[in-house]
Amino acid sequence: DWLLIDGEHAPNDVRSVLAQLQAVASAQQAFGDLRSHPVVRVPLGTGEAGTALIKQFLDTGAQTILVPMVDTAEQAAQVAAACRYPPEGVRGMGSALARASRWQAHPRYVQEANAQICCLVQAETVTAMQNLDAIATTPGVDGVFIGPADLSASMGHPGNPMHPDVQAMIAQAIARILKAGKAPGILSTSEAQARQWLAAGARFVAVGADTIVLVNGATQLLKTFRADTSAQGPSSY
């Protein structure tokens, strides 16, 4: 249903994100109902640098933006403002140069864009959990994505998002986001976890990552054709 184009942890910039948005658009045209909605995660969320980068991604044609490490309602408000044209926000009026408006082929783009843009923020620290109600009710924020790995580290359990305290915090967070009338999201790389959070009310769930899918597939292929996989050869990063 949706694909995350990651500018936070993956080596993506505006140009490579543009190429991926074009690829998704061509697939939508070619395969009709087999459509996937691209979500672009930006590396910076707040402050002048974050605002400028969000503007670039939106002008490139991203319709949904996901911003990491939002800890306060003030930061959430900055992100929401960056996603929308005045008077509701501070997005620069550069649609004549933008793929988003199809270079003015969409004559009412600036009048309609604010209602069409989806602004998602990530809550992934103890501080964010303390401020979650205010973050979720921030005008212009459409959904809140929980980052289990960073949250577990912030709670003192690095590398262990399955810790009972972390799991309980996530369940509470999903309920609080739903209560605020916004869409909760989360990443889960196991089917059991994904179904657990869907049952809890999560509205957008990342159920895999391309690198993990590739590694798992390659590992299984190796096991199929090599009896002894205990002796590992040289490796490099």
106 counts as catalytic? no
The per-residue DSSP string of the chain comes to -EEEEESSSSS--HHHHHHHHHHHHHHHHHHTTS--EEEEEPS--SHHHHHHHHHHHHHHT--EEEE----SHHHHHHHHHHTS-TTT------GGG-GGGTTTTSTTHHHHHHHH-EEEEEE-SHHHHHTHHHHHTSTT--EEEE-HHHHHHHTT-TT-TTSHHHHHHHHHHHHHHHHTT-EEEEE-SSHHHHHHHHHHT-SEEE---HHHHHHHHHHHHHHHH-S--SS------
List the catalytic residue out of 9, 106, 157, 163: 9
User: Which residues belong to the active site?
Assistant: 9
